[in-house]
Amino acid sequence: MNPVARSPLLELRGITKRFGAAQALSGVDLDVFAGEVLALVGDNGAGKSTLVKTIAGIFPPEGGEMRFGGVPIALRGPRDATRLGIATVYQDLALCDNLDVVANLFLGREERATPSRMLDEEAMEKRALAVLHVLNVKLPSVRAAMGGLSGGQRQSVAVARALMGEAKLVMLDEPTAALGVVQTTQVLELILRLKQQGLAVIVISHNLADVFRVADRIVVLRQGRLVGDFETHATARETVVGRITGADAGATPGIA
Amino acid sequence: MTVSAPDPVHPPSARLRPASIARRLRGVEAGPLPVLLGLVLLWSFFAWQNEHFLSARNLTNLVLQIAAMGTMSVGIVLVLLLGEIDLSVGAVSGLGAAVMAVLDVQRGLGPGPSILAGVATGASIGLFQGFWFTRFRVPSFVVTLAGLLAWQGALLRVLGSTGTLNIYDPAIDGLTGIFLPPWLGWVFGAACVGIAVSGMAGLARRRARAGLSPLPKRALVWPIAVVAVLVPAVVALLNDDRGVPMALLLLLAFVAGFDGMIRRTRFGRHILAVGGNAEAARRSGIRADAVRVVVFGLSGALAACGGILAASRLLAVNQSSGGGEVLLDAIAAAVIGGTSLFGGRGTVWSALTGALVIGSISNGMDLLALPSSEKFMVTGAALLLAVTIDALAREGRPSRG
């Protein structure tokens, strides 16, 4: 599947999850590699969000096996995932509009000066500037209140926050859904920068134009099953659309 | 376009156009400017109407009048920053003072332990209410409303059949009756200026050492200038009468201390985060409910402190202690000072500035011999104005770009 022969960062084997009578995920196998952008596409209710939330530790899977960095893992909650280096940026971003950018980046892991135990604003600001610089995120000021920033800037800060915790895998849920053209471009470039940093990136998106711009691989979910796994550069858009809608029901997933 | 493209929302060329300035002002924190402007207007009006308003004696009285309200209001600010409300602070202030008075006057426990017990009563009540509202998801409004009734009953029970306890203990009466000798007042004033200068210098030094861009000069000089002008003026004025009152030192200690807690500690940051976006705070690993319980405990403790100051000034605790407009004044002060009712926005200093506004209205209208009816109406108008400014600022504030 991946052109470079190496071991995947995240391996899913036969992941299964049901909600009552509804089978949300049935037997999903997926490998995610460091330094690649993987797009997760599918119609509403195909299981994209459920899969992401399973990887994020919010929904424990009922069946199947997960390995991270080659080690079998059992996530009991989101904190377990965060500790491993799995960061998730949800659509609502979960930012505090009343706090400034630095405070948001360090929310819940504020740095303190010794011996005063007071917040070390200077150290936090310095690290914030460094991370934003690496991601090439431009903001009016890191001391600006979050509420005054544009949608693209907010998305960028939410992604940068994921990196503060030394993430290895970043998952983005519809990162461009609410954005205009310019801001979408900014966020897509940010995604490429995460990849350049050697991170694995999983992007949920409805927008195939965006997907084809950033993704190395496109994985299609339909009715809880993985029905397509394509190398982006060797795939036509129609093929992916066909697989999403089921018009072209690929019997053998993985064949592009 | 690349990510480094100019920000389309605030293109540099649009920065100075009037429409853009207006838009920016609408979204900006109202800050302390409206309340300070209001204070200047109030003081000018009362000074024009009555020559005694700005006298040393009257302003000293004003300070003594607002000490209790300001202290309780600090607790209200903390609760408002969470986006909650505590309606029990009036009743808790009365009960805390009554517990202190009973232990000191009737049981002879001495001033120190009695005061501690009064404050501990308030803290326990606050913790209990905080626990109840977080555990059972009952709105804080209702839990503390129930508290308002219940603790008023407890106050009557504690005071017993006489209904009034006079406090003769010089240590307790001294909380609002002691004044610093003039030289000590000046030492205090010099210390304030020294703290302002060293604080700002330290800030600049730490930023320089971390290699961060220096703050603009005015951001460093303004606070020092304000303190260097205001504090000596206040000390000189108070020394002209009886001296700097102990009660002012206590109030300033509460305000400055809790302001430091909000702005400089991890706990304070978590209070602002929970008030700003509780879900975001929770997902960041902040234990939002624990933060809430502790803040309600602090609110209860500060309410008791305010009640003790009020009892010290009245030299007694009675059945109406903490009743009447005590609760509403404390909440109104926090809001008039500029702390938002919607959570996450405001400063502890608004307890002081808001209490000054309400105290000035009350004091000035007393001097003009106006009846209580008009006093209440003017205070109500001031509160309405302050809440409207808050609501307008909130409406104009862009929550999404």
Residue type, A222: R
Where among B187, B219, B244 does a domain terminate?
B244
The reply to whether residue B4 touches residue A136, judged by beta carbons under 8 angstroms, is yes
* Closest CB to A147 among B279, B286, B398: B398
Residue entry with tokens 């305000």? B255
Residue entry with tokens 């992941």? A15
Where among B244, B274, B291 does a domain terminate?
B244
User: Rounded CA gap, B242 and B220, in Å?
Assistant: 34
Determine, yes or no, domain membership for B2.
no
* Closest CB to A182 among B5, B265, B343: B5
The reply to whether residue B284 touches residue A107, judged by beta carbons under 8 angstroms, is yes
User: Rounded CA gap, B341 and B147, in Å?
Assistant: 20
Q: What are the tens digits of pLDDT across the range B203-241?
A: 999 999 999 999 889 889 999 999 999 999 999 999 999
Determine, yes or no, domain membership for B13.
no
The reply to whether residue B27 touches residue A148, judged by beta carbons under 8 angstroms, is yes
Q: How confident is the model at residue B396 (pLDDT cuts 50, 70, 90)?
A: low
Nearest CA in chain B to A184: B3
Instruction: Mark whether B63 and B47 lie in a shared domain.
Output: yes
Domain count, chain B: 2
Q: How confident is the model at residue B8 (pLDDT cuts 50, 70, 90)?
A: very low
Kindly list the residues of chain B whose beta carbon comes within 8 Å of any beta carbon in chain A. Answer: 1-5, 7-10, 27, 29, 206-207, 209-212, 264-266, 269, 272-273, 275-277, 279-281, 283-286, 343-345, 397-401
User: What pLDDT is attached to residue B383?
Assistant: 85
Determine, yes or no, domain membership for B361.
yes
Nearest CA in chain A to B23: A148
Chain B hits for A190, Cβ within 8 Å: 3
If you count residue pairs, one on A and one on B, with CB atoms under 8 Å apart, how many are there?
119
Instruction: Mark whether B273 and B226 lie in a shared domain.
Output: no
What is the SS3 assignment for B164?
strand
Instruction: Mark whether B217 and B310 lie in a shared domain.
Output: no
User: Rounded CA gap, B186 and B204, in Å?
Assistant: 27
Checking if the pLDDT of B122 tops 60, the result is yes
H or E element, residue B128? helix B111-135
Give the CATH number for residue B37. Answer: 1.10.3470
Q: Please answer whether residues B100 and B115 qualify as being in contact, where contact means their C-beta atoms are separated by less than 8 angstroms.
A: yes
Q: How confident is the model at residue B197 (pLDDT cuts 50, 70, 90)?
A: very high
Instruction: Mark whether B265 and B375 lie in a shared domain.
Output: yes
Checking if the pLDDT of B30 tops 70, the result is no
Q: How confident is the model at residue A249 (pLDDT cuts 50, 70, 90)?
A: low
Instruction: Mark whether B234 and B366 lie in a shared domain.
Output: no
Chain A hits for B399, Cβ within 8 Å: 97, 147
* Closest CB to A122 among B212, B279, B286: B212
What is the average pLDDT score of chain A? 88
Determine, yes or no, domain membership for B281.
yes
Closest CA–CA distance from residue A150 to any residue of chain B (Å)? 3
Residue entry with tokens 């600090």? B74
What sign does the CA torsion over B33, B36, B41, B44 have? Answer: negative
Instruction: Mark whether B231 and B137 lie in a shared domain.
Output: no
- Domains in chain A and their CATH numbers? 10-94+167-245 (3.40.50.300)
Chain B hits for A118, Cβ within 8 Å: 264-265
Chain B hits for A149, Cβ within 8 Å: 401
Instruction: Mark whether B287 and B334 lie in a shared domain.
Output: yes
H or E element, residue B270? helix B266-276
In terms of phi and psi (left: phi > 0; alpha: psi -120 to 50; beta: otherwise), the region of A254 is left
Q: What are the tens digits of pLDDT across the range B298-357?
A: 999 999 999 999 999 999 999 999 998 899 999 999 999 999 988 999 999 999 999 999
User: What pLDDT is attached to residue A22?
Assistant: 84
User: What pLDDT is attached to residue B236?
Assistant: 96
Instruction: Mark whether B206 and B226 lie in a shared domain.
Output: yes
Cα-Cα-Cα-Cα torsion B299, B300, B304, B309, nearest 10 degrees, comes to 10
Determine, yes or no, domain membership for B367.
yes
Q: How confident is the model at residue B10 (pLDDT cuts 50, 70, 90)?
A: very low
Instruction: Mark whether B268 and B126 lie in a shared domain.
Output: yes
Q: Please answer whether residues B309 and B250 qualify as being in contact, where contact means their C-beta atoms are separated by less than 8 angstroms.
A: yes
Q: What are the tens digits of pLDDT across the range A158-213?
A: 989 888 878 899 999 999 887 888 889 989 999 999 999 899 999 999 899 999 99
User: What pLDDT is attached to residue A23?
Assistant: 85
Nearest CA to B327 out of B18, B68, B6 is that of B68
Instruction: Mark whether B386 and B348 lie in a shared domain.
Output: yes
A245: tokens are: 């809608």
Nearest CA in chain B to A88: B283
Instruction: Mark whether B220 and B282 lie in a shared domain.
Output: no
Chain B hits for A183, Cβ within 8 Å: 8, 401
What is the SS3 assignment for B316?
strand
User: What pLDDT is attached to residue A250?
Assistant: 53
Where among B227, B244, B261 does a domain terminate?
B244
What sign does the CA torsion over B308, B310, B311, B313 have? Answer: positive
User: What pLDDT is attached to residue A92?
Assistant: 83
Query: Residue B79 belongs to what domain range?
Result: 32-178+245-390
The reply to whether residue B27 touches residue A78, judged by beta carbons under 8 angstroms, is no
Q: Please answer whether residues A101 and A143 qualify as being in contact, where contact means their C-beta atoms are separated by less than 8 angstroms.
A: yes
What 8-state DSSP symbol labels residue B105? I
Nearest CA in chain A to B215: A143
Checking if the pLDDT of A56 tops 50, the result is yes
Q: CA angle at residue B169 from B163 to B171, to 5 degrees?
A: 130
User: Rounded CA gap, B304 and B298, in Å?
Assistant: 10
What 3 state SS string does chain A have? CCCCCCCCCEEEEEEEEEECCEEEEEEEEEEECCCCEEEEECCCCCCHHHHHHHHCCCCCCCEEEEEECCEEECCCCHHHHHHHCEEEECCCCCCCCCCEHHHHHCCCCCCECCCCCCECHHHHHHHHHHHHHHCCCCCCCCCCEHHHCCHHHHHHHHHHHHHHCCCCEEEEECCCCCCCHHHHHHHHHHHHHHHHCCCEEEEECCCHHHHHHHCCEEEEEECCEEEEEEEHHHCCHHHHHHHHHCCCCCCCCCCC
User: Rounded CA gap, B39 and B41, in Å?
Assistant: 5
The reply to whether residue B7 touches residue A150, judged by beta carbons under 8 angstroms, is yes
Q: How confident is the model at residue A256 (pLDDT cuts 50, 70, 90)?
A: very low
User: What pLDDT is attached to residue A1?
Assistant: 46
Closest CA–CA distance from residue A256 to any residue of chain B (Å)? 32
The reply to whether residue A148 touches residue B398, judged by beta carbons under 8 angstroms, is yes
User: What pLDDT is attached to residue B389?
Assistant: 81
The reply to whether residue A97 touches residue B266, judged by beta carbons under 8 angstroms, is no
Read off the pLDDT of each residue in A43-72 and give the average, rounded to a whole number: 90
Q: How confident is the model at residue A2 (pLDDT cuts 50, 70, 90)?
A: very low
* DSSP 3-state percent helix, strand, coil across chain B (nearest 5): 75, 0, 25
Q: CA angle at residue B175 from B174 to B177, to 5 degrees?
A: 50
Residue entry with tokens 């307008």? B392
Q: At what angle do helices B246-264 and B266-276 cross, to 10 degrees?
A: 70
Instruction: Mark whether B373 and B227 lie in a shared domain.
Output: no
Portion of chain B with pLDDT greater than 70, in percent: 91
Residue entry with tokens 């949800």? A90
For residues B93 and A178, the model is more confident at B93
Nearest CA to B32 out of B349, B359, B397 is that of B349
User: Rounded CA gap, B93 and B89, in Å?
Assistant: 6
Nearest CA to B395 out of A153, A104, A147, A95 is that of A147
* Closest CB to B266 among A96, A119, A147: A119
Q: Please answer whether residues B285 and B270 qualify as being in contact, where contact means their C-beta atoms are separated by less than 8 angstroms.
A: no
The reply to whether residue A95 touches residue B280, judged by beta carbons under 8 angstroms, is yes
User: What pLDDT is attached to residue B23?
Assistant: 45
